[in-house]
Structures are given as C-alpha cells and as structure tokens.
Structure 1
Amino acid sequence: MQRLRQLSTFIGQTFALWAIVFAIAGYAAAPVFIPFKPAIPYALGIIMFGMGLTLRARDFAEIFRRPMQVLLGVVAQFLIMPLLAVLLVNIFSLDPMVALGVILVGCCPGGTASNVMTYLARGDVALSVTITACSTLLAPFLTPLLLELYAHKTVDIAVGAMMLSIIEMVLLPIIVGVLILASVVALSKGAIATSGLIIFGVVILHNLLGYLLGLLAARLAGMNSAQRRAVMIEVGMQNSGLGATLGTKYFTPEAALPSAIFSVWHNISGALVANLCTWWDKRHGK
C-alpha cells in the first residue's frame, strides 16, 4: 500500500511530463489511440465523479462568507476566457473547427487542477475550491449559452450528466486523462500537421492572458495577495477535459484539439506560476 501511495504521488507530481509523453504517443501512433474515442465521454464522467467526492459542505460556506469575491471569480472565469478565445481566433484566422475548439475550451468552467496550483502558489485555496465548484455547477447552463453566443453553434448538455463534474481522484483521472489526450491528438493528427504551431500559440496566449486579466480583475476588486492568486489561477486554468469531450462528441476531432493542448499546457504554466509566486514570497520575506 505504501508503494502504491508513493507511485501515485510520483505520477501526480510528474503529470505534465506524462501528458506530454502521451500527446507525442498519440501523434506518432495514432491508430493505437483512435479506438479510445467512444470512451471519452464516459471517462470524463468518471473523472468528474472523482472530483465531487472531495467536496465538503464547508467548500460552499465560502459563498456566504465572502460572496463578492466568489462572484468576481466566477464572472471573470466566464467573461474573460470566452472573450479572449474569440479575440485570438479572429486575430489568427484559425480553421473554423479549430476556432470552435478554442472558443469551446474558453467557455468551459475552471479546471480542478487550479486548486492544487493555488495551494502550491500559496494562494487562497478555500476561495479557489469554491470558485471551481460554483463554475462547474453553472457549466451545464453557461457553457452551451456562451458557445451559442460566441460560436453560433448549439451544444445540448444533459444537466444530470454534467452535475457529475464535481470531483477529482488521484490515479484514475491521471490514467484516463492521458488516454483521452492521446486519443484526441491521434484523431487530430492532420490538423496538427497543417497548423500545429499556430494552435499551440493561440492556446498558450489564451492561458497566459487569462492569468494576467484574472490577476488584474482581482487587483481592481481590492483583494489581498492570496485571493488575487486564487482568482488569477482559476480564470487562467480551464476544465479542458470537458472541452475535449464536448468537441469530440458534438463536433469534430479538430474542435477537441485546442482543449487537448490546453490540458497539457495549463499544467505546465500552472506549475510555473505557482513556483514564481513561491519565489516572490521568499524574495520578499513572506
């Protein structure tokens, strides 16, 4: 049991590396991972169910303790990222289905990994968890509405199934997540070959500008340092697993590709942001 726990810790700490490895494997050995496509919606359900098991009543108590801060985080999440996505796809004139994928991931709720990154960055974890939970519960309504507004496409999401997206485990989400990633990359091999660098650039800009504008919004709202970090990371990190699943199920593999890339990149950038925040605190004696 101790060895299994150590293995789980090791895989969790090196998740970004595993995601990169499986993304490369999905591109290089596409036929191996394409058969995983039908399992993607069910796999996401398992991951989201895992996240829900970790939530407690006290996570939602923050809504009543500081409603304005939670509200700002949720509004910033669903305002900044979709608008950034629309701006970027127009600037870079992306292929229509890839552009749809970028907008789709921008309309998704905050990613559960943001809670871990907020902890590592010495941010306000309670605020981060509450914003993630609230944005996830609102996703069945806001994600399709925002997608319809910005992409002129209607996505029907079963509210009951989406309510499963309240959760996170350790090993299972990682294993299932990298298989989803490899499968989406394999299915999108053609799009990567023709415009891969542009897609990567758009996704990276989307994520980094999300951090920046989230931090700015929190600063303008007069939040303290820990709260600013929580909002910054919440806004910048998306539930890209949801985006990949919706893109694959309702559109094309190309529409799922930006979410797949986002799932790799935001774990790398999130870790870098967390380390930068820690370095900043040490430098200033906090």
Structure 2
Amino acid sequence: MLLAADDVDGIRIAFEEGSLTTLKIVIGAILFGIALDTKVEDFKLALRRPGTIAIGVVAQFLLLPALTFLLTLLLDVRGSVALGMILVACCPPGNVSNILTHRARGDVALSVSMTAVGNVLAIFLMPLNVAFWGALHPTGRKVLEDIELSAFDMLVEVGLVIGVPFVAGITIAHFWPRFAQRAGRLVGPVAFLGLGAVIVVGVANNWSIFVDHIGVVLVAVFLHDALALALGWAIARMTRLPEASTKAMTFEVGIRNAGLGLLLVFTYFDGLGGMALVAAWWGIWDIIAGLALAQWWGVRSRTKVEVVA
C-alpha cells in the first residue's frame, strides 16, 4: 500500500450547509464564466476540426479514467482515495486550461473549443464514467455499495451545475457580446478566488484531519496529475498535432475541474475522507503544475522567436 491509513475510508470531512451552497454558486459561476468566453462559433470551429476534437474527447473521457483506474490498482490506494482519483479524472476541464494554453503560447482557439465541447459532454459522460469505473474497482466498489450512488441523480446534479449556467452564459455571449466580454473578465477570476476561499475555509475547519491524512494522497495526486498531463501531450504527439495544438491538448486533458468534483463529494458521498482530500489537493496542485509547465513552454517559445529573429 502507498501509505498506511486504514481509517481514511471511515472519516468524513465536515462541511456546513451554507458552505455547500456557496460551493454550488461558485462552481456555477465558474461554468458561467467559461460560457461567457464561449461563442457559438467555437462549436462551429470544433465541427471544422472533428478529428482533433475527437482525439481530445477520447483522451479525456475514455483513456484518462481507464489509466486512472490502473494507477489506483498499481498504487494500491484505499477505496475512498481510488474513488476520489476516478471522480477527478471524470471531471471536465475548466477555463484554467485556456489561460495556461495562452501563457504557453499554444492554440487558444482549439483550447476554448475543446473546453466548450468537453463541458457539454461531461453532463452525460461524467456520471456514467464514475459509476462504471467506481463499480469496477475492487475496493472502491465496496464504498459505492455503502453510499448507493445513483448515476441518474448525479446526472441531474451535473446537468444543473454545468448545463444551466453554461446555457445562460452562451446565450448572453451570443446576444450581448460586449457585456459578456466585460463580465467574463470579472466573473472568472472572482469565481476562482471564491473556490480558493471555500477550500481554505474547509481545510481550516478540518485542519487536524487534513494534517493527519494529507500524506495519503500527496504522492497519488502528484503521479495522477503528471499522468493526465503526460497523456494529453503523448496523444497529441502520437497523432502528430502541431506544437501549438499539442500544448492545448496537454492542458485540456491534464487540467480537471476539481472544484466540481469536490462539490459532488459533499453532495453524494457525505464528505468521504479520501475523496475530499484528493479533490481538494488536486485543485491546488493541478494549478501549480500547470503554471510551471505553461511558464516553461512560454519562455521556450519566446527564446525560439528571439533566435529566429
């Protein structure tokens, strides 16, 4: 076993009802911000690049959950930690991937199109993926049986959290583009600050649990995040995408909306310890690793331009 923590499956992270409501609003605002930056033309662009989009969809919703499942078996993590890793892998990308692609001087248009398509597909594919891989897992299955997870209930929840704000945002962006552009600059950053605040407050309120058990997920999340980024890069290279598109694919596959995962942990899994720790730490580490990679790529691109000039 990765680390001895026999009781992590039995702990529950306390999360007040008010904090859960705030988290739902924050996640909805994040998706609303993504939609404000999304245009109908982005979906038309996706239709003009069906092969590239299909590669991203397969990587995100088929390969990443499958490889995550294998990683949990290899690390021999506890059931709740395995479910947390599977849940995060099944989450859609957030617009952080668009920001990182821009910083890395990647194909932002492709990134935005993939984010839009990924979030729409996640409404249907995320609940199915979680239910399938969770039920297949030798230790995660036992946890799911105790919780009696309904894929349909999760479908409704994900549909409300993603679908409603996404449709509202795209509608505003289509009919009032100038307002959407101004609002998008504010909504996205404020929503992510709100998510950070919710996570910080949650950790502070459960500090002793966090300190005692964070070691259980540190290495697992580090390896899982590296796997996700590497998968995006590898599949782009294998399909011979241009360098700019490779950067976009790397972040679209590697960056997950762990905030949505955290919301589902508290909504359907009663704050199950290992799952909550994975989602919370992933949300922090994913951004750190993504920024480091984007910065390295960005500096490398600028150096190439200077050398050519």
| Normalised TM-score (structure 1) | 0.81
Say yes or no: does 1:94 pair with 2:112.
Answer: no
CA distance 1:79–1:186, shift in 2 (3 Å):
farther
Q: Does 1:275 align with 2:291?
A: no
Query: Residue 188 of structure 1: CA displacement?
Result: 5.4
Q: Take 1:187 and 1:97, find their aligned partners in 2: how far apart are those partners?
A: 20
* Alpha carbons of structure 1 residues 225 and 184: separation in structure 2 relative to 1, 3 Å: same
Deviation for aligned residue 1:165: 5.4
**Residue from 49, 60, 64 that aligns with 1:66:** 49
Counterpart in the other structure of 1:145: 128
Tell me, yes or no, if structure 1 residue 118 matches structure 2 residue 116: no
109-118 vs 77-86, which deviates more? Answer: 77-86
Q: Identity, % of aligned pairs?
A: 32
SS at match of 2:93: coil
Q: 1:48 aligns with which of 21, 26, 31?
A: 31
> 1:108: which partner in 2?
91
Taking the aligned partners of 1:190 and 1:81, their CA distance within structure 2 comes to 32
Q: Return the alpha-carbon distance in structure 2 between the equivalents of residues 271 and 88 of structure 1.
A: 24
Deviation above 4 Å: which 4+ runs of structure 1?
A: 30-35, 186-191
Partner Cα separation in structure 2 for residue 60 and residue 188 of structure 1: 42
TM-score normalised by the chain length of structure 2 = 0.76
Q: How many residues align?
A: 257
Stretch moving more, 143-152 or 55-64? 55-64
Output the aligned Cα RMSD: 2.4
Query: Is the CA contact 2:34–2:94 (under 8 Å) kept in the aligned structure 1?
Result: no
The verdict on how the C-alpha distance between 1:165 and 1:230 changes in structure 2, with shifts beyond 3 A counting, is farther
Structure 2, unmatched stretches of 5+, are 1-12, 136-143, 145-149, 170-183
The aligned residue for residue 157 of structure 1 is 155
Please give the alpha-carbon distance, in whole angstroms, between the structure 2 residues aligned to 1:246 and 1:148.
13
Q: Distance in 1 between matches of 2:15 and 2:253?
A: 34
**CA contact under 8 A between 1:82 and 1:103: conserved in structure 2?**
yes
Contact 1:184 1:256 in 2 (8 A): no
- Asked if the contact 2:222–2:285 (Cα under 8 Å) also holds between the matched residues in 1, the reply is yes
What are structure 1's unaligned runs of at least 5 residues? 1-29
Picking from 251, 265, 277, the partner of 1:233 is 251
| Per-residue deviation, residues 13-70 of structure 1 (Å, max 9, x unmatched) | xxxxxxxxxxxxxxxxx99989523432233122222221221122112212211001
Say yes or no: does 1:197 pair with 2:215. Answer: yes
